Amino acid sequence: MTLQIIPIHFKNDVQPTDDLIDLLLSSSKTSLENGDVLVISQKIISKHEGRVVNLDSIIPSELSIGIASAYDKDPKLVQAILSESQRIVRMEHGVIIVQTNHGFICANAGIDESNVENGYATLLPKDSDKSADNIRLKILQQTGKKVAVIISDTFGRPFRMGQTDHAIGVSGIDTILHYEGTPDTFGKILRVTATAIVDELCSAAELVMGKTKKCPAAIIKNFEFKENTGNIKSILRSEEEDLFR
């Protein structure tokens, strides 16, 4: 069967008081079916959960003021980044790479000033797995359909130019497809191949979602996956296995 990626367009910006499930279901041009994968952008999850901060309300520390001065950044934004981070990984060329409180390695702790009012910024959801799980269960309750839900966000990559979408929260799907122990087309046994399918699905969905199309979600149909109750931590490389940390 042919893989289908169907965009879901929203007419208006998402508010905390909105019924997000109703918006997703009513805005889609196609019905959800068993085995579909629903990819939702982090931005609308953060907006719906009230993870939007007024930068003017932030009082920067001496550390954030010093970093902001050295890297030509708003000290209030830097303070927000530090508050959402476990540690700073690297700072150079005006870029602040951190390990977020969730364990993600990304620029600016995932804090984003795009597609939000001037003077405001969105923070990552506190628990993206829980957000994905709540959506999946509510869809099951309202439609009777078993779907997988992935929360996506855009991250840069240390060894390649440009950004791609990555999963930051999952529900109902294995994060990785393991090929270890299976033969390739020449009969050789694969030893280390493991495909990060949730990241690949996020990148595929982003092709139709874009950044300026008011399309914060997409339905992926005809993709076979293994149901799972795992979480996003299963895709994060441990410090012991990280050769660059």
Question: Domain with 27 in it: what CATH number?
Answer: 3.30.1330.100
Same domain, 153 and 208: yes
Question: How is residue 235 written in tokens?
Answer: 């895709």
- Residue written as token pair 């005809």: 222
Same domain, 146 and 231: yes
Question: Within a domain: residue 243?
Answer: no
Inter-CA distances, 117 with 53, 128, 143, 195, 229, Å:
10, 23, 34, 37, 36
DSSP state, 54? E
Question: Within a domain: residue 242?
Answer: no
Question: Within a domain: residue 244?
Answer: no
Same domain, 110 and 218: no
Instruction: Answer whether 0.85 is exceeded by the pTM.
Output: yes
- Residue written as token pair 């993600």: 104
Same domain, 71 and 98: yes
Q: What is the pLDDT along the chain (245 residues), one digit of tens a residue?
A: 789 999 999 988 899 999 999 999 999 888 899 999 999 999 999 999 999 999 999 999 999 999 999 888 899 999 999 999 999 999 888 889 999 999 999 999 999 888 888 899 999 999 999 999 999 999 999 999 999 999 999 998 888 899 999 999 999 999 987 777 777 777 777 777 788 999 999 999 999 997 767 899 999 999 998 888 779 998 888 888 887 76
Same domain, 44 and 138: yes
Same domain, 116 and 131: no
Residue pair 123/79 in contact by the 8 Å Cβ criterion:
no
Last residue of a domain, one of 72, 87, 121: 121
Q: CA angle 202-203-207, nearest 5°?
A: 115
5: left (phi over 0), alpha (psi -120 to 50) or beta: beta
Same domain, 62 and 81: yes
Question: Domain with 101 in it: what CATH number?
Answer: 3.90.1660.10
Domain count, the chain: 2
Query: 176 is in which domain, residue-wise?
Result: 4-49+125-236
Question: How is residue 179 written in tokens?
Answer: 């090929």
